[in-house]
Amino acid sequence: MLKVEHLKKRFGNHVVLNDINITIGKGEVFCIIGQSGSGKTVLFRHIIGLLFPDGGRILLDNEVISSPTTKPADFDKVRKRFGILFQGAALFDSMNVGENLAFPLREHTKMTEKEISKLIAESLEMVGLKEEFKTKMPSELSGGMRSRVGLARGLVMKPEIMLYDEPTSALDPIMTDKINDLILSLRDKLRMTSIIITHDMASAYKIADKMAMIQDGKIIFHGTPGEIRESRNPYIQQFIRGQKKHHYAIADEDAYAVPINISKVKPRAVGPRRPVPAPSTENAAAAPSDMANKKFQMPVRPGGQNNQ
Amino acid sequence: MIAPLRFIAFVGSFARGWAGKGRAFVLGTRHYTQLAVQTTARVPLIVKNLDITTKHMYTLGIESIPLVTMIALFLGSATVTQAVYQMSGMIPLRYLGALVCKTTVTELGPVITSMVFAGRVATGIAAEIASMKGSEQLDAMNVLRLDPIRYLIVPKMVACVVMLPVLTIWAILMAFVGSAITVAISVDVTMYTYLDGMRLFFNPWDVYMGVGKTTVFGAIVAITGAYFGLTAKGGAEGVGNATTKAVVVSAVLILIFDFIVAVMVM
């Protein structure tokens, strides 16, 4: 079980994470959602030990793995328990697919080349790629294939927890669905915990057992996909529906992290929109608008004359 | 605001700006030194990555030969032409070979080759590491417990330390060829006199010193490129800035170290 307790992080004067608390159960698919710049990637980087908190701690199976006093070398002991799929897959450009997958195996295990080759083939198969792909260079792969190879590289060390950083953000809808299916099948086959950073709600609904939502460095929701749909927080509703404006009035605004001025919130108009009357030609000619004056008339100096 | 207060505010902001720059310089120097120490400490681990190092020796060293050859040929020609102009009417031209040999072996050959090498290699290293940082490949290495210093910087540094002296020796030879061609074509000195002049004050120590210092220049080029690659920020513009800084700082550090060696030798 992974627990994040009272996590705080600031860069200079800017507080990026403010008292983050989440609990992720074993074998769960946990989605962290939020707008761009809300702090979800910073939280992700804390979980994988690329950043360390200013306050709070992260526990894995009740053992503190990250705190303000943790050093990067200390985190290396638990790093092998994590597998990562980065946003653009982060494949090593100078190596082909096979070498990308073999690199960690050659450095951290005493496996023979034959065993490594077999494991690479298994990992590629697990993500739906043929063994022939291992000779391809990353530059020859499409976005979806790069994601799959990145996933295979994450899986090759047999991690307990797999983290995905916006795995579908650069993919088309069909490939997005394939990657989502892949995440679910890996959960079912390998029983691994999956943590997914995303702002793609369709994917989150499909794959998440639980989800948390971050806004301005704070967790404003922690629950199941069903619960988030029923949330009465206007910001959450706005986010999950992908709407530009708030449409939902709430009874008790103090109960939510996002303040909203109820007096300014109007219910959505029901029925056909009232047509805007066209200005009559007579009136328009008689009284030109201010904008028209501003556009075409020269500015007048206090003396009353144009000084050209 | 009255004038004295405005003046104090100006002095304050000026001092604060310079204090910030001074602090950044001190911190940068500290990080650069740390990187140099960490890279040097990992050199014994190179035995596991000899294949990567050999590949870098080829791309950074062997592929630089055409450029170095071209520059060295013209360097030799220009040195002879300048030497003839400076010596005419004052020093007998039988000493032309000695002058060209001394300047090429001790200073021009090593320093110009290192500058050319820095222009080609430090920029390449900085751009490669900066774009790897931008595409999260360095993060991926950290997450996979693959030390970026060991796998990215050490092989490049070893390749530079080995190949820059080799390139320097080649450049000196090519400069001699260029100078001999120029002497044959346009200087009123026989080839025998010119070559005899070269042998006149030849001291093998000059070669050891001239070529030996380029091992350090090689390390400077690799570490400077790596440092600015690792500290690059902000996408394509950051990569551009990193490469510019890498080549400028490499050139400055090469000249500073060259001066230190010259003082030590004297």
Complex confidence, ipTM: 0.72
Q: What CATH code is carried by the domain that includes residue A172?
A: 3.40.50.300
**What are A181-223's pLDDT values in tens digits?**
888 888 888 888 999 998 888 888 888 999 999 988 899 999 9
In a domain, B27, yes or no: no
Which two structure tokens, joined as six digits, stand for B52? Answer: 């990567």
Contact (CB, 8 A) for A46 and A67: no
Q: Is B224 inside any structural domain?
A: yes
Is B20 inside any structural domain?
no
Tokens of A158: 């047999």
The sheet carrying A29-34 orders its strands as: A82-85, A161-165, A193-198, A29-34, A210-215, A218-223
Model confidence at A303: pLDDT above 80: no
Mutate to test the interface with A, among B42, B47, B143 (most CBs of A within 10 A): B143
State pLDDT tens for residues A232-290: 888 888 888 887 665 554 444 445 555 556 566 555 555 555 555 555 555 444 444 44
Residue B210 in any domain: the answer is yes
In a domain, B66, yes or no: yes
Residue B174 lies in a domain: yes
Q: Are B164 and B157 in contact (CB under 8 A)?
A: no
Does B76 map to a domain? yes
DSSP letter string, B11-38: HHHHHHHHHHHHHHHHHHHHHHHHHHHH
Taking contacts as CB-CB distances below 8 angstroms, the residues of chain A near B135 are 88, 90, 93
Q: How far is A221 from chain B (nearest CA, A)?
A: 29
Nearest to B136 among A72, A86, A157 (CB): A86
Q: Which domain holds residue B169?
A: 39-265
Contacts of A100 in chain B (CB under 8 A): none
Overall domain count for chain A:
1
Q: Is B45 on the interface with A (CB under 8 A)?
A: no
Is residue A89 in some structural domain? no
CB contact under 8 A, A93 and B137: yes
Instruction: Identify all chain B residues contacting A73, using CB atoms and an 8 Å cutoff.
Output: none
Give the span between the Cα atoms of B253 and B266, in whole angstroms: 20
**Residues spanned by the domain of A39:** 2-81+159-241
User: What is chain B's mean pLDDT, rounded?
Assistant: 91
| Contact yes or no for A103/B140 (Cβ under 8 A) | no
Tally of domains in chain B: 1
pTM assigned to the model: 0.78
Cβ–Cβ below 8 Å for A107 and B146? yes
Interface contact flag, A91 B137, Cβ < 8 Å: yes
Question: Is position A274 within any domain?
Answer: no
Q: Using an 8 Å CB-CB cutoff, list chain A residues near B137.
A: 90-93
**Could you tell me if residue A96 is inside a domain?**
no
Who among A88, A91, A108 is closest to B145 (CB)?
A: A108
Nearest to B135 among A45, A50, A90 (CB): A90
Residue A235, in any domain of the structure:
yes
Answer yes or no: is B3 within a domain: no
DSSP symbol at B264: H
B34 contacts chain A (CB < 8 A): no
Lowest mean pLDDT among A195-204, B239-248, B255-264: A195-204
Is residue A202 a part of any domain in this protein? yes
